């Protein structure tokens, strides 16, 4: 199987898409959207009287408070159109000045590393290292290509002291975001980890890493060609692009084969290795535990799904049909809407990026009312009542399948997170659109992508009517 750069760009769009939007400016993952796990207070967690656990919880609270203060100091304006009256230099200087004057939660991260060093024999040391690796996922992007020593320290400690911790596979999953440290660590784990499950996870997540690297390069090309920019786009143009191109180059011809080789290796060597999900075991969101997937999976299953997505869920391919039930339990299918252009979204109440898209989706409904256009969503809410509440309040005004957090529809479409966006023409052929990268795009970008598809649909309808009329007249 030979894939293209565009195909690779699509395959893990949701893989940390929500964390990407926030981290471009803050470096902190969005807890609800970026991380696949929710707090599970009923699960086993360290006792409240444990002084070591209390110390780590205190660090987590202090770090979170600093982020809240930073968010208040720096307006989240990256979705807004950029001020083109400002030169690139002036815009970038203003951005740097705002960052420098705001509270800096990064100053606390060495304390998490020190905690892990001081309590190296405690399982809680791994929780601290996992946290550091998670919140530094985009440091090289945000800090103009500078490697982050605290992240490297956390990875080295995890390798030295916690190879026997079964949760190490979840740390590997946090390394799919491109960075020099991530790639080298995944390669080392694949080559040298004594645990077969760790080698399986390393091979799979290294494939995801190269998928995300292709995404980044594709996004850079898109941004450079855009006639208008948001602040997010401008950040990519001025900060992300130069550093990715210098430090994380991509061979577009070799990368697809590299991904396929890794996934093929997973299927050949690790098909029987169980894959696990994870959950927070406390409301403070610092202690993690491994849990089974809703439907048991192996790394072979994950690799086969990703290979299938690379082949079939790409622009130019027909969208697989969806069969499910809505919030009222009534069955419907995607194919019921054949003949209409479909904006298909995977979303959830636990995903802040999804909720931010709702007003834009409502405006698109109004804009294209009376045209062959429909918005459909696959809701990944934990409970159907959550979806019913969003519909009842008018927040969601389109029909949704309720799929649960890890339901069969998300599984069939290989969607591990949210938001995930597909635009389908009236024949339900998947379209190549820029905003699928994270679901975030301007209203004008959505309109520019949808309008020509509606014109084509109208033309097909007119041609069909003329043909039908001609047949009848004879």
- The predicted-structure confidence for 399-456, as pLDDT tens digits, reads as follows 999 999 889 999 899 887 788 899 999 999 999 876 665 556 778 889 999 999 999 9
472: pLDDT strictly greater than 90? no
The pLDDT of residue 15 is 35
- Please give the Cα distance from 56 to 49 (Å, whole number): 12
- Overall average pLDDT of the 272-287 stretch: 90
Q: Is 202 exposed, middle or buried (0-12, 13-18, 19+ CB in 10 A)?
A: buried
The pLDDT of residue 156 is 96
Strand partners for 376: 344, 399
Structure tokens at 270: 């690790």
More confident residue, 440 or 243: 243
More confident residue, 107 or 34: 107
The pLDDT of residue 414 is 86
What are the structural domains, with CATH classification, of the chain? 5-304 (no CATH), 317-473 (3.40.30.10)
- Overall average pLDDT of the 280-291 stretch: 89
Backbone angles phi, psi at 378, to 5 degrees: -100, 110
- Overall average pLDDT of the 358-385 stretch: 96
The pLDDT of residue 283 is 82
- The predicted-structure confidence for 75-90, as pLDDT tens digits, reads as follows 777 778 899 899 999 9
138: pLDDT strictly greater than 50? yes
Strand partners for 274: 298
The pLDDT of residue 31 is 35
Of 438, 436, 446, 232, the closest CA to residue 353 belongs to 438
What is the average pLDDT value for the chain, to the nearest integer?
85
pTM assigned to the model: 0.82
Residue 417, Ramachandran bin (φ over 0: left; ψ between -120 and 50: alpha; else beta): beta
| DSSP string covering 26-73 | S----HHHHSS--B-TTS----TT-HHHHHHHHHHHHHHHHHHHHHHH
The pLDDT of residue 151 is 93
Confidence at 47, pLDDT banded by 50, 70, 90: low
The pLDDT of residue 371 is 96
Distance between first and last Cα of the chain:
49
Give yes or no for a contact between 345 and 357, defined as CB atoms under 8 angstroms apart: yes
CA distances from 167 to 126, 138, 171, 299 (A): 8, 22, 7, 15
Name the pairing type of β-strands 341-347 and 420-424: antiparallel
- Please give the Cα distance from 349 to 99 (Å, whole number): 30
- The predicted-structure confidence for 307-341, as pLDDT tens digits, reads as follows 998 899 989 999 999 999 999 999 999 999 999 99
The pLDDT of residue 470 is 58
């Amino acid at each position: 199987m030979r894939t293209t750069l565009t195909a690779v760009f699509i395959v893990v769009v949701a893989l940390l898409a929500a964390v990407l939007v926030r981290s471009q400016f803050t470096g902190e993952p969005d807890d609800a959207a970026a991380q696949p796990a929710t707090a599970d207070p009923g699960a086993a967690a360290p006792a409240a009287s444990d002084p070591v656990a209390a110390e780590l919880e205190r660090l987590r609270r202090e770090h979170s408070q600093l982020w809240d203060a930073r968010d208040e100091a720096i307006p989240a304006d990256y979705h807004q159109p950029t001020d083109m009256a400002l030169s690139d230099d002036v815009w970038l200087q203003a951005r740097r000045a705002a960052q420098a004057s705001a509270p800096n939660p990064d100053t606390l991260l060495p304390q998490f590393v020190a905690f892990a060093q001081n309590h190296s024999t405690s399982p809680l040391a791994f929780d601290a290292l996992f946290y550091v690796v998670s919140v530094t996922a985009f440091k090289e992007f945000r800090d103009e290509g500078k490697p982050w020593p605290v992240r490297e320290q956390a990875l080295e400690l995890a390798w030295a002291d916690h190879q026997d911790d079964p949760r190490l596979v979840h740390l590997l999953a946090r390394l799919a975001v491109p960075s020099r440290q991530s790639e080298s660590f995944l390669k080392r784990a694949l080559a040298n980890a004594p645990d077969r499950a760790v080698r399986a996870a390393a091979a799979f997540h290294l494939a995801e890493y190269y998928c995300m690297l292709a995404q980044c390069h594709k996004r850079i090309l898109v941004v450079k060609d855009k006639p208008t920019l948001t602040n997010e786009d401008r950040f990519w143009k001025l900060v992300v692009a130069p550093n990715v191109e210098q430090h994380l180059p991509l061979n577009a011809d070799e990368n697809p084969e590299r991904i396929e080789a890794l996934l093929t290796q997973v299927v050949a060597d690790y098909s029987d290795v169980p894959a696990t999900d994870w959950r927070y075991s406390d409301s403070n969101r610092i202690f993690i535990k491994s849990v089974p997937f809703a439907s048991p999976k192996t790394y072979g299953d994950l690799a086969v799904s990703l290979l299938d997505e690379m082949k079939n869920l790409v622009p130019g391919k027909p969208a697989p049909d969806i069969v499910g039930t809505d919030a009222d339990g009534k069955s419907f299918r995607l194919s019921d809407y054949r003949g209409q252009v479909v904006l298909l979204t995977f979303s959830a109440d636990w995903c802040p990026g999804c909720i931010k898209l709702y007003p834009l989706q409502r405006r698109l409904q109004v804009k294209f009312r009376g045209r062959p256009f429909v918005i459909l969503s696959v809701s990944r809410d934990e409970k159907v009542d959550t979806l019913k509440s969003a519909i009842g309040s008018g927040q969601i005004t389109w029909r949704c399948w309720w799929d649960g957090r890890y339901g069969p529809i998300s599984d069939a479409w290989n969607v591990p997170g949210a938001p995930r966006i597909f635009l389908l023409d009236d024949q339900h052929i998947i379209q190549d659109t820029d905003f699928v990268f994270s679901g975030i795009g301007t209203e004008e970008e959505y309109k520019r992508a949808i309008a020509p598809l509606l014109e084509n649909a109208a033309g097909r309808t007119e041609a069909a009517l003329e043909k039908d009329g001609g047949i009848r007249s004879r």
